[in-house]
Amino acid sequence: MENTKLRRRVLTTATATVAVGALALAGLTGVASAGPPAATAPAVSADSLSPGLLAAMERDLGLDAEAARTRIAGEYRAAAIAAGLEKSLGTSFAGARVSGEKADLTVATTDASEAALITRAGAKAEVVGHSLDRLEAAKDALDKAALAKAPKNVPVWYVDVAANQVVVNGASTSAAEAFVKAAGVSDKLVTVARTTEQPRALADIRGGDAYYMGGGGRCSVGFSVTRGSTQNGFVTAGHCGRAGTTTNGVNQQAQGTFQGSTFPGRDYAWVATNANWVPRPLVNGYGRGDVTVTGSTPSVVGASVCRSGSTTGWHCGTIQQLNTSVTYPEGTISGVTRTSVCAEPGDSGGAYISGSQAQGVTSGGSGNCRSGGTTYFQPLLPALQAYGLTLVTSGGGNPTTPPTTPPPTDQPGGTWAAGTSYAVGATVTYGGATYRCLQAHTAQAGWTPAAVPALWQRI
């Protein structure tokens, strides 16, 4: 590591701790395939979004109903375009983000010659010095160093695509610099940020409903899932319970048992419920109407996101960074998403959702819903993959036009392609085999059918 001083900036985040909530990623449906020419934004009608979600977005983001619909439509379109460009740009891709009332998309690249391709796809091009692969490799090195020895007084680090840097938050700049140096990461890739944030996992213990652990405490349901053809359940935060922990539902009646739980490292778990509990593709709107879940595609940086939890109900904010690492007293959690949504104890495990698209399960954070705060959610897909679960949705979404020039079926990828939106029941070929889509989603790089059984079934 070079000896030049790391760049420094001072943050003034609050020290109060915030509640954890579980959430699940929802698939993006009804979006045209990404890549040149520009994808067409899907229509977001007046009755397609929950009144509760719209009310919370107006309260927390200052958006009236029409502005909220416009923004969500733009975010859906941006997610599809960003996925297609990530595939097209390959190793020069440097991240994507949205901004403004219409969710204008910016896509960064390290290759200036690709700016025209980005513009044709419907995004603003930005040429930067570091690819996303390079920044994520640096963050991975920090993650490995934290697993070997949890850093002291360094609560959070993440890839900031807007700054084209890895940001390391420390109680002091010297603590952050020492952590970066110990990990062997080049200071050219890192910005040190001083923060008073003290995140911790909290278990004061439809999506958003309360449940109670047998050993005491309350958390919130994330999203309904199934395993196989007969077992129902839900996903939640791993820190809420361990395998074997029993649960009672919001009505205090026997509900189920934790079947699997991962924490720290990641923060996800799933609870198998008894026959009295019927899974629904809904998130509790807390008096403003339930929100229907239609899929599991993640939104991009800058997108709006709302949370439902059993302590504070509905609150909204924006996605600030993806692939963040955060250190709690129990250890380091990696791969979480950083948001500006507030939460409080008991919201743990509650649902985060963008429009009708589920986003993940809250892991922890700081602040509260009186003064504001920062929260981190665990994306859903890793939990579905880890436990072989299927997200319960309203039945899919609309098929979209396939790419006009699909790759030949004898190529390793077959007809499957990242950036394409797939509806439930759609079939593709990959690696010489045929697969059926189990959940509506927009394919991301690395989500090949053979690698993601939660999304695809071989037939």
Q: Which residues are known to be catalytic? A: 239, 267, 348
CA distance 214 to 245: 6
Kindly provide the b/e burial profile for residues 157-184, where b requires at least 16 CB atoms within 10 angstroms of the residue's own CB. Answer: bbbbbbebbbbbbbbebebbbbbbebbe
Token digits of residue 247: 């649960």
Inter-CA distances, 64 with 54, 58, 67, 342, Å: 7, 5, 5, 20
What is the 3-state secondary structure of the chain? CCCCCCEEEECCCCCCECCCCCCCECCCCCCCCCCCCCCCCCCCCCCCCCHHHHHHHHHHHCCCHHHHHHHHHHHHHHHHHHHHHHHHHHHHEEEEEEECCCCEEEEEECCHHHHHHHHHCCCEEEECCCCHHHHHHHHHHHHHHHHHCCCCCCCEEEEECCCCEEEEEECCHHHHHHHHHHHCCCHHHEEEEECCCCCECCCCCCECCEEEECCCCEEECCEEEEECCCEEEEEECHHHCCCCCEEECCCCCEEEEEEEEECCECCEEEEEECCCCCCCCEECCCCCCCEECCECCCCCECCEEEEEECCCEEEEEEEEEEEEEEEECCEEEEEEEEECCCCCCCCCCCEEEECCEEEEEEEEEEEECCCEEEEEEEEHHHHHHHHCCEECCCCCCCCCCCCCCCCCCCCCCCCCCCCCEECCCCEEEECCEEEEECCCEECCCCCCCCCCCCCEEEC
